[in-house]
Amino acid sequence: MLGGGAALAVIAGVLGILNGATSSESVSGYEDGGFQVSVQAPDSAVRVMKPAEFTVTATGANGQPVANADLRAVLYMPDMFCGLFEAEVTEISPGVYEVQGVPVMKGKWVAKLTLASDGNQGTFVQPFKVS
Ligand SMILES: [Cu+2]
């Protein structure tokens, strides 16, 4: 059940890219724990119960990609207690991670990203809206 859903989410993400859905995305930059992270997030195209996709690019203090990091992503609504939703993280190239999760309600959401590598840890909060 879970595996099938994840496969569908990946397919949906690929179709989205092929359809040029990336044009409705924006990029934000963050710094914490010695990491620099840029997050490509959906602008306003996220629909409830559909996969929301983020691309996270991480570099270290030396400017090198942070590959094979432990990246965890949790989606939640900051103004409500309706749950924490762990997102799926896949490293698609060294230091570049694809994050996918499914928001279950309309409204204001955040993706909280925790990146750990070589004893350093950074936390980044990316807001997004679900309609
Ligand atoms: Cu909610």
Task: Please write the tens of the pLDDT for every residue from 24-68.
Answer: 678 999 999 999 999 999 877 799 999 999 999 999 988 999 999
Residue 64, domain CATH = 2.60.40.1930
What 8-state DSSP symbol labels residue 65?
B
Structure tokens at 15: 């179709």
Number of domains in the chain: 1
Report the pLDDT value the prediction gives residue 7, as an integer from 0 to 100.
47
* Domain that includes residue 93, residue range: 2-130
Interval 76-124: pLDDT, tens: 999 999 999 999 999 999 999 999 999 999 999 999 999 999 999 999 9
What's the 5 CA to ligand 1 centre distance in angstroms? 21
- In one letter, which amino acid is 107? G
Sign of CA dihedral 71, 35, 111, 51: negative
Report the pLDDT value the prediction gives residue 12, as an integer from 0 to 100.
44
What's the 127 CA to ligand 1 centre distance in angstroms? 14
